Amino acid sequence: MSAVHRVRLPAGATVLVEVGHAVEPAETLATRRAAQGGASVAIATRLRRSPERAAEMLTVVPGTEVEAGDRLADDGRGHVVTAPAAAIFLAYDHGDGRALLAPLGDAEPILGHVRGEISAVEPDAIEIRIAGALLTGVGGYGSAVHGPLSVAVDDPLDELRAGAIDVGSSGRILVGGSRASAETLTRARAMGVAGIVLGGILDKELRDFEATQSRRREVGGIGDDFAILVLEGYGKVGLDVDLFGWFARHDGHMASLFGSDARLYVYGADPPPARRVFPRAGDRVIAHRRPYAGVGGRLVRVLETLHATPAGIPARSGLVRFDDGRSAVVPLANLEATEPSPG
Amino acid sequence: MSDPDARTELAILLDVGSAWAKAGVIGRVRGDWRLIAHAAQPTAWGSAELRRSLVDQLARAGDPRLAGRYEVLLAGANRIECHTARRVGRLAVVAVSRELSGSAARRAAEAAGWEVVDLLTLDDGRTLAERISTLQAVEVDAWLVAGGFDGTASPRALEAAALVAATRPTGKGPVVWAGTAQLADAVIGLFEPGAVTTVANPRADARHEDHEALREHLRALRGVVVQEDEAHLASVALPRAAGELARQGGLRVLVLDVGARAAVAALAEPDGSVAIRLHAGGGIAGIARAAGATSRVARLAGDVGDDAAIADLLETIRARPATLPETAEELAATQAAARVAIGAIVEEMGTGPVDLVIGAGRTIAGAPHPGQAARMLLDGVRPIGVTQLAIDPASLLGPLGSLPDDELGEGLALLAGDLLAPLGTAVVTRGGEPGGPAMRVTAHRPGWPATGPIQVRVGQIQVLPLPAGQTAELTIEPAAGVSIGAARRSPRIQALATGGAVGIILDARGVPMALPRRADDRRAVIASWRDAFQRETERVA
């Protein structure tokens, strides 16, 4: 089982790896020099020319990257203006004869955040082949983190409570259940949890959490080292039983979580339970819309004719016997068949 | 009993959306082309399943002499198809000011069907380092740079272009310069040869905005970037059908298709010309990420849940656009989201009075109750004056719009009986004092005693049954201070109303619609509007 992870490279990045290299999550794949702010350089004054005249003596065009000492302007008579540091030349003001530069900082690492083997190096991306399984979700938050998986609830329908998180959770990617409150997320972050995987989350709580993290980042209190992955849906939505069982079997496996990309790589893992649209009678299914969102069950039979939902929409539907004891006719469009992991 | 000698002519009209695929089978019935089967399903289920649904329907309700042969007949039938763009073009917009050049560029880009990944302006509060970092991180198919008024060589506009030059990998995506014409050569010089195309500045001066040239350029560029056959794109085919309908009827027609991901609006004039807006993220699934949309949907949805519940629903629709609302509350919220989506696209388009509004797409045209479809169209468009409303229930307009020019008119005419389902006629007023008189309306139907005069107060909506196929002469007497759009030469206005599944809708809720501030009052008012549509429509049915 393998998956390919793609790391995008910004313009001007310097690649440090080649195809075939084995890389670790914290390994530097490339470097880039980020702009550090703005700097103004007096061009006209130093050339002793009017701003309009000095403009004709510029030797670079806006957008050019220059190194320290590179010429910015030259009057051809010995007056030269050079770049004070490595920078991007951005603009020249014809009013005051000054140039706007964006100084470039020291080389910063670009990490892959995954363990694997470099399979391709392109001008704008590096691809890494990962020995493990890839799970994609419906949403997420945060940057790239990695750590061992740790199942933190007993039942896939359980809510991940703040009390379940302690110092032992530090550095781990916790697998919760059907929901985590903003309070739980905040505590997890404070306790050093690397990431959280959930069946569902209340969108408002996720946004509240994002807002508090954004404010804390602005005042310099925290870094980008926490991520959330939402696998099934929004609201209180449980994890599929088979998928929960798969997580339980891989408790302790290293994983890399990309929150905003809604991707989770689990190293050395069997294929996760597969999903299939258009379920057939007899299939195990999971429902995606209220009032059954996140609840698994068995599709007992598919109705021969269209059946109106309680909202009145006629749809091809089937009778589902849910794991929680309820039975209901559900539109097939709202169901996915789940197939157990081969492992 | 199957008859091997029996012959038929069939064609399949297929509209493949990003989330749902709709198919209709047309065949000759007593000499006329009629819709004889229709099916809709999630696109991901595949074409074989869609064909099987159609075959099942035909086996149950089709000509029994053809029993057992429908599978073969459909396999050999003509396919007339349109589809949603398989890939959305992604664009980064860099401009000088958020309010002027930035907003104009963004509007043009969205109306041309691009997804604006980032709008970066030099007054957006970001530091220079953040701007550079943002642009280095975006993954886009093209870049749009705008800024400066024509006749000026704004250094800020050149700085915007320089930001793109500094961060765009060489050769990665075309650059469109839509800023001051005076800087065009300087901007071209910042990039490799052939990278930049220049377009007329949409904000040539501080007072005027005209982004038509930019929009058309971006529309053409999108076709090149995503490499799709334009003729079969729903965003091209649907407006073509709208144009032909308008030309045939001598009407001003507005067609609105609110799909799962994208929304298309086509405003067709009686001469057949069409103005198009395609919003790549303007469909129902896109509402979740629109600023302030959750609150607007919650306000319009009435008593179906608080902002948090609406936010979860909208995110669910975004994440799983092919799923269906099961509960009445979720349906009401989804339809409120459609009203918000329509409102946004119509506001940007500035439609003015129209003769006919047609709703397409599953959320509107597939609404379980015709009153719900009418309400989405009326609440979203607010078409002041007298306007016919209809839906495209079988999604035939798009496929027919993909026919060649010489077949389009004939195709629409041949299927006229099944193409549109009329909802009725709306009379929408603007102005007046809340609770005060808005209009008096008398309906005259040939062979029936006159109905009315019916008094409608500002803030009210009343529905009069008028079945499809029937017409009524309306005498409308707007109250003082109330307008129905057209200049008034007499205190009474005569208008013809055509019937439909809803009837005549007398709508004095204002333009824009005024809703009470207090939540309880608002919920009560919305419930009364909903009941007005449901009650009278059910009486007609």
Q: What is the pLDDT of residues B11-45, one digit of tens each?
A: 999 999 999 999 999 988 778 889 999 999 999 99
Contact predicate B78/B219, CB 8 Å: no
For residue B1, the model assigns a pLDDT of 55
Domain boundaries A274-339, corresponding CATH code: 2.30.30.30
- pLDDT category at B515 given cuts 50, 70, 90 is confident
Q: A30-65, pLDDT tens digit by residue?
A: 998 888 878 899 999 999 999 999 999 999 988 888
For residue B68, the model assigns a pLDDT of 84
Q: Is B330 within 8 Å of chain A by CB?
A: yes
What ipTM was predicted for this assembly? Answer: 0.86
How far does B156 lie from chain A, in Å, by closest CA? 8
Residue B402, SS3? coil
- The pTM is what? 0.86
Q: Considering only CA atoms, which of B502, B451, B447, B509 is closest in space to residue B475?
A: B451
- Residues 6 or more apart whose Cβ sits within 8 Å of residue B347: none
Q: Which residues of A touch B41 (CB under 8 A)?
A: 316, 333
Percent of chain A with pLDDT over 70: 98
Q: What is the mean pLDDT of chain A?
A: 92
Q: Where in chain B is the domain with CATH 3.30.420.40?
A: 10-83
Q: How many CB atoms lie within 10 A of CB B155?
A: 22
Q: How many CB atoms lie within 10 A of CB B541?
A: 12
Q: A220-277, pLDDT tens digit by residue?
A: 766 668 999 999 999 999 998 999 999 999 999 999 999 999 999 999 999 999 999 9
Q: How many CB atoms lie within 10 A of CB B321?
A: 20
Q: Nearest-CA residue of chain A relative to B60?
A: A305
Contact predicate A313/A306, CB 8 Å: no
Q: Which residues of B touch A110 (CB under 8 A)?
A: none
Facing B327 at nearest CB: one of A10, A235, A311:
A311
Q: A91-109, pLDDT tens digit by residue?
A: 888 888 999 899 998 888 9
Q: Kindly determine whether residue B368 and residue A312, on different chains, have CB atoms separated by under 8 Å.
A: yes
Return the CA Rg of chain B: 25
Q: To 5 degrees, how large is the angle CA A89–CA A95–CA A100?
A: 20
For residue A145, the model assigns a pLDDT of 94
How far does B317 lie from chain A, in Å, by closest CA? 9
Domain ranges of chain A: 34-106, 137-267, 274-339
Residue B356, SS3? strand
Facing B162 at nearest CB: one of A91, A291, A310:
A91
pLDDT reading at B492 higher than 50: yes
For residue B7, the model assigns a pLDDT of 67
Query: Which superfamily does B10-83 belong to?
Result: ATPase, nucleotide binding domain (3.30.420.40)
For residue B541, the model assigns a pLDDT of 40
Q: From CA B71, how far away is CA B1, in angstroms rounded? A: 16
Q: Which residues of B touch A95 (CB under 8 A)?
A: 155
Neighbouring-strand partners of residue B90: B115
Q: Which residues of A touch B46 (CB under 8 A)?
A: 278
Q: Is B49 within 8 Å of chain A by CB?
A: yes
Q: Where in chain B is the domain with CATH 3.40.50.360?
A: 90-226
For residue A177, the model assigns a pLDDT of 86
Phi, psi dihedral angles at B135 (to 5 degrees): -70, -30
DSSP-derived pairing of the beta strands B503-507 and B421-428: parallel
Contact predicate B435/B482, CB 8 Å: no
**Could you give the residue ranges of the DSSP H alpha helices within B143-183?**
155-167
Q: Considering only CA atoms, which of A232, A239, A230, A154 is closest in space to residue A196?
A: A230
Residue B483, H or E segment: strand B482-483
Contact predicate A63/B164, CB 8 Å: yes
Query: Which superfamily does B90-226 belong to?
Result: Flavodoxin domain (3.40.50.360)
Domain boundaries A34-106, corresponding CATH code: 2.40.50
- Residues 6 or more apart whose Cβ sits within 8 Å of residue B22: B14, B15, B38, B39, B40, B362, B394, B395
Which CATH topology does A137-267 take? Glucose Oxidase; domain 1 (3.50.30)
Q: Nearest-CA residue of chain A relative to B139?
A: A8
